[in-house]
Amino acid sequence: MSTGLTFQETVLRLKQYWSERGCIIQEPYDVEVGAGTMAPETFLRVLGPEPYRVAYVQPSRRPADGRYGENPNRLYKHQQLQVILKPAPADVIDLYLGSLKAIGIDLAKHDIKFEEDNWEAPTLGAWGIGWQVMLDGMEISQFTYFQQCGGFDLDLVPAELTYGLERIVAFLQNVDSVYDITWAQRFRYSDVRLKDEQQFSKYNFELADIGMLWQLFDLHEKECQRLIKLTGVVLPAYDQVLKCSHIFNLLDSRGAISVTERVGVIGRVRRLALGVADAWMKEIAPKTEAVA
């Protein structure tokens, strides 16, 4: 089947749909992240008692998943559309199904299933309960009720909806390779992104300077530790966590992290993330409580 929607039209329709349902439409975060969850619009905003609704496309970098542009379904960087509804409304699944209709999926002609798939990110001290959403046998979304983030039980339970855009659009356009997706009239996905995949695969697997990466890791870690102790700079501190996390991923794809080191490095990133979450919670706590 083909809905005739281009990649960007699909994205625009989803943004429009969630905009109409009270979401802030954010732009992607401009520091490298491995998933939309890591952007501060999710990681920090889900903490605390304030309701929030946001949607954004987040290019997500996973250096080890790169395949030099040769694999039709694997990408070093893919685009996730991330939606946070905090708190999750009782009709959240119906809202989600409505978004599928908005991009031209007639549910009466398809098979949709919600299959158990819980989510856990130990480095973020975060986990949730949920499903992978299967459309005609293909996973098109992750649906998660966040339970904990940054080591804190969440005051309000947010629903996180993550759409794997390349997969969904490849499916809707009936193409076997993501590179054959029509991104815009007259432009294919490969026109836009193939060089990206080829060059970064080469860099991530072969060229990234390991010594430099370790140095950068140490520097960003120190900067984060310094900032956490100050007041009013939680967001800059969190950027340092993201830097460390991405550098860890790069070191990993370079095969530079031995087994014994691995646990330790993950622990370092985790401590930073938990520290930032803690600082954020203190910052957003009602002032009267802070005084008392």
List of residues contacting another protein (CB under 8 A): 1, 70-74, 87-88, 90, 93, 97, 107-116, 118, 129, 131, 135-138, 145, 147, 153-157, 171, 174, 176, 255, 257-260, 262-263
Q: How far is the CB of 244 from another protein (least distance, A)?
A: 20
**114 vs 214 by CB, closer to another protein:** 114
B/e letters for 198-229, b = 16+ CB within 10 Å, e = fewer, are bebbebbbeebeeeebeebbeebbebbeebbe
The least distance separating another protein from the CB of residue 158, rounded to whole angstroms, comes to: 10
CA gap 40, 242 in Å, rounded: 10
**Least distance (Å) between residue 185 CB and another protein:** 24
Q: Give the shortest CB-288-to-another protein separation in angstroms.
A: 20
Is the CB of 140 or the CB of 237 nearer to another protein?
Answer: 140
What's the min distance (Å) between Cβ of 139 and another protein? 9
Nearer to another protein (CB atom), residue 152 or residue 203: 152
Q: Nearer Cβ to another protein, position 192 or 266?
A: 266
Q: In this complex, which beta carbon is closest to another protein, that of residue 263 or of residue 291?
A: 263
Residue 54 CA to residue 211 CA, distance in Å, equals 38
Assign 3-class secondary structure to 165-227. HHHHHHHHHCCCCHHHCEEECCEEHHHHHHHHHHHHHHHHHHHCCHHHHHHHHHHHHHHHHHH
Which pairing describes strands 52-61 and 77-86: parallel, antiparallel, or unpaired?
Answer: antiparallel
d(CA 126, CA 118): 11
Nearer of residues 176 and 289 to another protein, judged by Cβ: 176
Helix, strand, or coil (residue 59): strand
Structural contact between residues 161 and 82, judged by C-beta atoms closer than 8 angstroms: yes
Residues shown for the chain: 292
Shortest Å distance, C-beta 137 to another protein: 4
**Helices vs strands, H then E, count in the chain:** 9, 11
Nearer to another protein, 145 or 217 (CB): 145
Q: How far is the CB of 201 from another protein (least distance, A)?
A: 13
